[in-house]
A and B are shown apart, each in its own frame.
Chain A
Amino acid sequence: MSELSDVVVPGSAQSPRSVAWARRRRAAGEVWAAFRRHRQAMAGLIILLAVTVMALVTPLLADRTGLSAVDSLDNPVWASPSGDFFLGTDNLGRSVAVQFLYGSRTSLLVGVAATMLIVVIGSLVGVIAGFIGGWVDSILMRLSDWFLVIPFLPLAIVLARILGPSIWNIIFVIGVTSWPYVARITRAQVLSLRQRLFVERARALGASRRHIVRQHILPNVAPLILANATLAVPIAILTETTLAFLGLGDSRNPSWGKSLEEAYTAGAITRNAWWYYLPAGIGIIAVVLAFTMCGRALEEILDPRLRERR
């Protein structure tokens, strides 16, 4: 404990702002150190970095023409992995490897973008409902109940059908159907924070609502939201997979879910063409697992209650 006092000594040269920033940097450093000690978290992070790099450099590795059946007429169909086709070809002669690479882009984009939507809507609703309370809370919570009670998949299917198949519509569909979870968790946290004595103290000091939310509520719910966001990504990716598998995906953009669907309808399983469905399946599992591992670790590191339990 005592060595901490040597790290930051606010002398006259340092402004309070820089002290606060130093504190944030140190806190972030501590989280990072704890994260690095966490073996699962590091494994997840390495997988995520690898997949992200792969998705980013895909255009350099393979040409989009490889996705088109018309441009693949010369290729053998149902070819097993070989020197020419690293992961073999599908029923139309397209390279599975190219589909896998481009599919990672879609899956990651949908996962991350939909999660951002979920987090923005969910935390906004959660903080407003929890902090303002009263009838605002009642209305927002009934709304979220409504989304929670309606079977998620049929609603997503209907929405995807109405809006039409495009990546952005899929992101929108996932976003508007999945925010209630984040909203609920955030609201519960805000409710308990609002009862905390330090919030009462801030009120007694004359703080405005804005001040209380910015200084006391948000910093305390942010870690929880962050941890939940990393846990929401896999849900979004799986939803995209499901929708694509049901034929509601974006027909112009390959995704891992769409690969699975095409492999399934083309009869890859009966033909024992494992190279067609396995890469996409493993990709989904790896990314979902990686996000979950990082999320759980973050949750544990950032939530003091879980930390004490260890």
Chain B
Amino acid sequence: MAEPLLSVRDVHVRFASRRGPVHAVAGVDLDVVPGEVLALVGESGCGKTTLIRSILGLVAPTSGSVTFDGHVVGRGHRRLRRLRRSVQMVFQDPTGALNPRHSLYESVAEGLRIHKVEGDEIGLVHDALSRAGLRPAARYAPRYPHEVSGGQRQRALIAGAMALSPRLLLADEPVASLDASIRGEILALMRGLVDDTGVSIVAVTHDLGLAWNIADRIAVMYLGRIVEIGATEDVIGDPQHPYTRALLSVVPELEAMERQILRGETPDPSRVPSGCRFHPRCPVVASGEAERLGILARCTGEDLALAPVPGAAPPDRVHAHLAACHAVSADATITAGGEGSAGATPG
């Protein structure tokens, strides 16, 4: 398997907020290989957006490291600039992300100008617009954001990102603000870009349907941590973490599962529970199953990291199916903190 394009190692992001310190990202390990789509799934406040912003250096990690293409992402302006040519971002709200005073042409050309890309600017811009599905490009280029539809704005934003031929595309809820009918078109475009150009995509979303549509792997985040990660088929077909199971059960599309609506609100990253951070809402704890398994004390008192799912066929390091749950890893080795994603699977 190819070397990871992006490696995130034990990244923490802490903020100061009015309600006290917020631990938005609390130790995340993640690898992205070239040409794959990874869906980062979770509720708002789980730190998924902060995590991808820290990959671009838009927020500085408090600790931990991000390595892109063999280089550690630093804070210096020049290094960030180089990074921001190879890593591009697509935003949830295309209307806000385009300067209303700039034509689509100027918005797409902006990255080319910032990075002083050599060559025929008009040709590059038109090429990017057509590849993003805005054809004929010459007709769309001089238009302004308010003159085109929401779906076309998102296409323009993707064109602006792809004009620089990036190797990694970070997409923050790329279809959440779009109509249902437009959604599929944009997702098809993104998947097509991966297949044609070999770009990798990390898509932040709360929509498991998006993951099923385009993602090779899924990482489920809860309160600043990845609680389950694996190939899409594994995570959807055989969810291990009770949080993943609950998320899947409330997706209206999936009738097969009994609905498991978690009580309580979206968790608050300024007040992380002790022990397993999910235990106050965990159905395994609430139903008394944890007690039967004899792990209740560990659930409430012992923090845990990702561990390989027992019984799963061990593929390579990057594609392993991992989960952070005492009930799952009751018979697997538990490493309290640190190298969750590393190492071989136990027998």
Contacts and interface: CB of A to CB of B under 8 A. Distances in A.
| Touching chains A and B, CB distance < 8 Å | yes
Contacts, number: 91
Contacts of A12: 122
Interface of B, secondary structure class, is helix
A204 B58 contact: yes
Interface in A187-238: 196-198, 200-208, 211, 215-216, 219-220
A5 interface: yes
Contacts of B147: 1, 4
B106 A20 contact: yes
B37 interface: no
Contacts of B88: 204-205
A32 B153 CA distance: 28
A11 interface: yes
Interface residues of A, number: 34
Nearest to A204: B89
A282 B12 CA distance: 68
Contacts of B103: 19, 23
Given A5-B139, A9-B142, A208-B77, A304 B100 contact: yes
A7 interface: yes
A207 B56 CA distance: 13
A19 B115 CA distance: 20
B142 to A, nearest CB: 5
A5 B143 contact: yes
A10 B121 CA distance: 11
Interface size range of chain B in the complex? 35 or more
A8 interface: yes
Nearest to A205: B111
Interface in A5-39: 5, 7-12, 14-16, 19-20, 23, 27
A15 B106 CA distance: 12
Contacts of B77: 208
B216 interface: no
Contact of B98 (A7, A20, A198, A215): A198
A286 B121 CA distance: 51
B111 A206 contact: yes
A260 B105 CA distance: 57
Contacts of A198: 96-99
Contacts of A206: 80-85, 111, 114-115
A219 B89 CA distance: 24
A200 B58 contact: yes
B142 A16 contact: no
Contacts of A211: 114
Given A5-B143, A206-B84, A201 B114 contact: no
A204 B84 contact: yes
Would you list the 8 A-B pairs with minimal beta carbon distance, nearest first?
A206-B84, A197-B96, A197-B97, A204-B89, A198-B99, A206-B81, A205-B111, A8-B142
Interface of A: 1, 4-5, 7-12, 14-16, 19-20, 23, 27, 196-198, 200-208, 211, 215-216, 219-220, 304
